[in-house]
Amino acid sequence: MAATPLPEIDALATQLSSGRHDAYSQRALARASEEYLSRRRPPLAHVAITVDGKEYPNLYAVIADPDAKFETGELRLDPIPAPGPAWRFLLPFEKIVFASDGSADIHPLEPGPPIRAIARVLVREHFLLRTAEEEVRGAIGGTSVELRGIAGTLAESVAACREEALVPFGVALLCYLPEERYRYEFDVIHSSLLPDPRAGRLSPGKRVRRTSRLDWALDHYIAGADLSLLGVRCLEVLVESPGLTSVELSHVFGGVRELVDSALQGLVQHRLVTYDRRTGMYRARLDGFLPSADRGAERLDVVPAGADPALRTSVQELIAAADARATCPLCGAPLPPGPKSILCDNCAAQVGSS
């Protein structure tokens, strides 16, 4: 699959920068793109993009077109790959059709009706345009950039790239289904869908399926957290597992174990992960990224702080699953996220009026 030429990416940066894409910025963009390409994984399929009824060669052309809002659109695999091990940890699809309300229809490879989902975008790797002077001011704390809309709808993310002069290299499409969330990663430079990094490197038996609500909390946290890319990837895999060692994670990401160890220690310091010295196992703390209203801290205290990390994690998993599936005992309607009463608002109003 042919890569988008650097001059085309450089032209987009010039267009977004309002004249600030100087020689320093051009060299930085070239280095950033080369670094990204050096870590490129073999693709699963090429992606054709249609936005607001118009087909584009790649996402860069969409961002460069001020008339492209991405309120509606379609990602289509061309050619369509066959089902198989390369799709492991993903829901195989033929195309994803996006609606203006932020929802999407996933058309599966297997015969059947489209699957409704809520779609959001998370920019994985990118180049944020800065001149040499802005870089110096940022290094000493003189300026800060807020990346708005980077975990929003497609329209919000495209608008944020334009407003912040941000050139994406890799993005994740987060599709929230009623019971779970699927994360599709795309190589923007090559306009291709990437396989899950665990495919062929981690046994499917070591995956723990999480609820959409818990995954949304994780994605929302990651979008605003100051974590390294490797730290983010390790956290995502640990959340969807009963626990893994640094050796297993090094195998998943194909890097130097010392780098994975460093990323894991950073997660431990952020209190997002626990480490069991007896087994060498790292486990995600599900209460480390949940919003305070959803943590149920008073219920987590039933497990002493010094208890077995595996036991504490199991209790957290049970509580998160119970909260995500909580229903009203009278009408059976699901209770909304956040602090829960016994009844839903509708039944509570009827009981109160009677």
List, for residues 115-148, the tens digit of each pLDDT value: 999 999 999 899 988 877 777 766 665 444 444 4
- By DSSP bridging, strand 103-108 and strand 115-128 are antiparallel
List, for residues 11-55, the tens digit of each pLDDT value: 999 999 888 898 999 999 999 999 999 988 899 999 999 999 999
Mean pLDDT estimate for the chain: 84
Bridge partners (DSSP) of residue 45 are: 193
Q: What local confidence, expressed as pLDDT, does residue 270 receive?
A: 94
340 domain residue, yes or no: no
Instruction: Tell me: pLDDT of 299 over 50.
Output: no
Residues 44 and 181 in one domain: yes
Residues 214 and 179 in one domain: no
Of 287 and 274, more confident: 274
Residues 247 and 205 in one domain: yes
Residues 81 and 52 in one domain: yes
Residues 95 and 219 in one domain: no
Residues 58 and 123 in one domain: yes
Instruction: Tell me: pLDDT of 184 over 70.
Output: yes
Residues 146 and 258 in one domain: no
351 domain residue, yes or no: no
Instruction: Tell me: pLDDT of 149 over 50.
Output: no
Residues 97 and 219 in one domain: no
Q: What local confidence, expressed as pLDDT, does residue 130 receive?
A: 81
Residue-wise over 28-62: b if at least 16 C-beta within 10 A, else e?
bbeebbeebeeeebebbbbbbbbbbeeebebbbbb
Q: What local confidence, expressed as pLDDT, does residue 304 receive?
A: 45
For 45, 176, 239, 290, the CA distances from 219, given in Å and listed in that order, are 24, 11, 11, 10
51 domain residue, yes or no: yes
Q: CA-to-CA distance for 63 and 161, rounded, in angstroms?
A: 7
Looking at residue 225, which CATH number applies to its domain?
1.10.10.10
Region label for 202, one of left (φ > 0), alpha (ψ between -120 and 50) or beta (otherwise): beta
3-state secondary structure of 243: coil
Q: Which domain does 143 fall in, by range? A: 1-196
Instruction: Tell me: pLDDT of 249 over 70.
Output: yes
166: pLDDT confidence band, cut at 50, 70 and 90?
Answer: very high
Q: What local confidence, expressed as pLDDT, does residue 346 receive?
A: 75
97 domain residue, yes or no: yes
CA-based nearest residue to 298, from 276, 315, 273: 315
Residues 154 and 63 in one domain: yes
Share in percent of the chain as helix, strand, coil (round to 5): 40, 20, 40
Q: What are the DSSP calls for 57-124, one per residue?
A: SSHHHHHH-TT---SSEEEEESSPPPSSGGGTTS--EEEEEE-TTSEEEEEESSSS--EEEEEEEEEE
Q: How many domains does the chain have?
A: 2
Q: What is the CA radius of gyration of the chain?
A: 22
List, for residues 277-298, the tens digit of each pLDDT value: 999 999 999 888 887 655 554 3
261 domain residue, yes or no: yes
**Domain final residue, candidates 172, 196, 220:** 196
Instruction: Tell me: pLDDT of 316 over 80.
Output: no
Residues 209 and 191 in one domain: no
CA-based nearest residue to 124, from 213, 227, 251, 34: 227
3-state secondary structure of 266: helix
- In the chain, % of residues over pLDDT 90: 63
Q: CA-to-CA distance for 288 and 286, rounded, in angstroms?
A: 5
Torsion angle in degrees (nearest 10) through CA of 41, 49, 34, 198? -20
Region label for 102, one of left (φ > 0), alpha (ψ between -120 and 50) or beta (otherwise): left
Instruction: Tell me: pLDDT of 223 over 80.
Output: yes
CA-based nearest residue to 217, from 284, 288, 119, 290: 290
Report CA torsion sign: 229, 235, 240, 246.
positive
CB neighbourhood size of 276 (10 A): 15
The conformation of residue 168, written as its DSSP 8-state character, comes to E
Residues 126 and 33 in one domain: yes
Tokens of 242: 């009963």
3-state secondary structure of 344: coil
Q: What local confidence, expressed as pLDDT, does residue 18 receive?
A: 83
Q: What local confidence, expressed as pLDDT, does residue 45 receive?
A: 96
Q: Which of 237-251, 299-313, 326-340 has the lowest mean pLDDT?
A: 299-313
Residues 180 and 262 in one domain: no
84 domain residue, yes or no: yes
275: pLDDT confidence band, cut at 50, 70 and 90?
Answer: very high
**Domain final residue, candidates 196, 219, 254:** 196
342: pLDDT confidence band, cut at 50, 70 and 90?
Answer: low
- In the chain, % of residues over pLDDT 70: 79
22 domain residue, yes or no: yes
Average pLDDT, integer, range 147-176 = 85
27 domain residue, yes or no: yes
Q: What local confidence, expressed as pLDDT, does residue 323 receive?
A: 57
